[in-house]
């Protein structure tokens, strides 16, 4: 990995940007100089001002809680340029007609992956509640913080739905609208990628896997999304089968075979 800091002035800028030495060390442990430059550019653009710490860490990305110049909290999702499996990510991207004009090197793939989630969030926000996509720079995506007092709302898996049948119908209708109106499939929808606010509203998150409906894997991914979400609500009392749920999202599936024509 590149050294994070190549000049003393970069280290000083980073010292001012990070809210604590713990946040700075967390960044230094997993990220590199190129990512630091992206964060500094976002700061120069007035997108973010302070980085306060890690909220979530995975194989492909790290999510930091950040503060904007107006004092509002936001999230910076940083896709790690050294993430494994980027060749699979490249193939996944090239199957989506929106994202084909990019180089095959690791940095270019991660930048395009970041741009993909930014675009998916913008499209999804037209038909359902999801984080607002604020800006992106190379492999850094800045988006709305969904929560209160710097803490995200609980995930659906941590909540007992009051009316599982009604909640499932709501999600299925949103899936249908996302497909019909924005030609988009979430691709990784489950109780782990839905937040629930204090009013019981469900907010979809993590659109990095989202694909255009013409993607070769779109039908399979949509089936998996329906199966995941139907299975969760089934555990809480819903009587809707996966086949019935799929029919609500894609009318005509009861009399056809996969892959379905989306």
**pLDDT, tens digit (0-9, with 9 covering 90-100), for 248-262:** 999 988 777 777 888
Least confident segment among 116-120, 140-144, 216-220, 257-261:
257-261
Q: What would the pLDDT profile of 174-184 be if each residue is shown by its tens digit?
A: 999 999 999 99
260 belongs to a structural domain: no
From the number of C-beta atoms within 10 Å of its C-beta (0-12, 13-18, 19+), residue 211 rates as buried
Active site residue 206: yes
Checking if the pLDDT of 48 tops 90, the result is yes
Checking if the pLDDT of 35 tops 70, the result is yes
CA distance to 73, 124, 131, 221, per residue, from 155 (Å):
19, 19, 14, 21
The C-alpha atoms of residue 210 and residue 123 are separated, in whole angstroms, by 11
Checking if the pLDDT of 10 tops 90, the result is no
Mean pLDDT across 238-242: 97
The structural domain count of the chain equals 2
Checking if the pLDDT of 8 tops 70, the result is no
- CATH number reported for the structural domain that contains residue 168 in this entry: 1.10.510.10
From 2, 101, 188, 225, the catalytic residue:
188
Query: Which residues does residue 195 pair with via DSSP β-bridges, in sequence order?
Result: 155, 203
The C-alpha atoms of residue 149 and residue 59 are separated, in whole angstroms, by 27
Q: Which residues does 160 contact at the CB level (< 8 Å), separation at least 6?
A: 236
Mean pLDDT across 66-77: 95
Cα 35-38-42 angle, rounded to 5 deg: 140
User: Cβ(195)–Cβ(205) under 8 Å?
Assistant: yes
What the block records as the tokens of 246 is 């799929």
Q: Which of the listed residues 129, 146, 163 is the one where a domain comes to its end? A: 146
Checking if the pLDDT of 213 tops 70, the result is yes
The reported pLDDT for the residue numbered 254 is 77
Residues 187 and 94 placed together within one structural domain of the fold: no
Question: What residues make up the domain containing 122?
Answer: 8-146
The reported pLDDT for the residue numbered 218 is 96
98 belongs to a structural domain: yes
Residues 129 and 232 placed together within one structural domain of the fold: no
Q: Which residue has the higher pLDDT, 129 or 255?
A: 129
User: Cβ(68)–Cβ(48) under 8 Å?
Assistant: yes
Residues 193 and 120 placed together within one structural domain of the fold: no
The reported pLDDT for the residue numbered 84 is 61
21 belongs to a structural domain: yes
Active site residue 188: yes
Count CB-CB contacts under 10 A for residue 212: 19
46 belongs to a structural domain: yes
């Amino acid at each position: 990995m590149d050294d994070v800091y190549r000049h003393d002035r970069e280290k000083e800028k980073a010292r001012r940007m990070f809210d604590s030495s713990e946040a700075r060390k967390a960044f230094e442990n997993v990220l590199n100089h190129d990512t630091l430059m992206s964060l500094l550019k976002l700061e120069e653009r007035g997108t973010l001002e302070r980085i306060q710490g890690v909220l979530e860490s995975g194989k492909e990305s790290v999510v930091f809680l950040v503060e904007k110049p107006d004092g509002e909290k936001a999230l910076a999702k940083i896709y790690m340029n050294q993430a494994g499996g980027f060749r699979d990510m490249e193939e996944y991207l090239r199957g989506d007609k929106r994202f084909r004009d990019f180089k095959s090197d690791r940095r270019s793939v991660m930048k395009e992956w970041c741009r993909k989630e930014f675009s998916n969030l913008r499209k999804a926000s037209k038909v359902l509640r999801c984080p607002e996509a604020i800006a992106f720079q190379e492999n850094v995506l800045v988006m709305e913080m969904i929560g209160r007092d710097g803490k995200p709302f609980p995930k659906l898996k941590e909540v007992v739905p009051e009316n599982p049948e009604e909640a499932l119908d709501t999600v299925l209708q949103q899936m249908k609208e996302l497909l019909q109106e924005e030609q988009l499939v979430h691709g990784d929808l489950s109780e782990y990628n839905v937040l629930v606010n204090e009013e019981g509203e469900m907010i979809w998150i993590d659109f990095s896997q989202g694909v255009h409906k013409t993607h070769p894997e779109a039908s399979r991914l949509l089936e998996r999304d329906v199966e995941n979400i139907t299975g969760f609500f089934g555990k809480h009392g819903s009587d809707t089968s996966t086949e019935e749920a799929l029919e609500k999202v894609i009318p005509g599936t009861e009399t056809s075979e996969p892959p379905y024509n989306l």
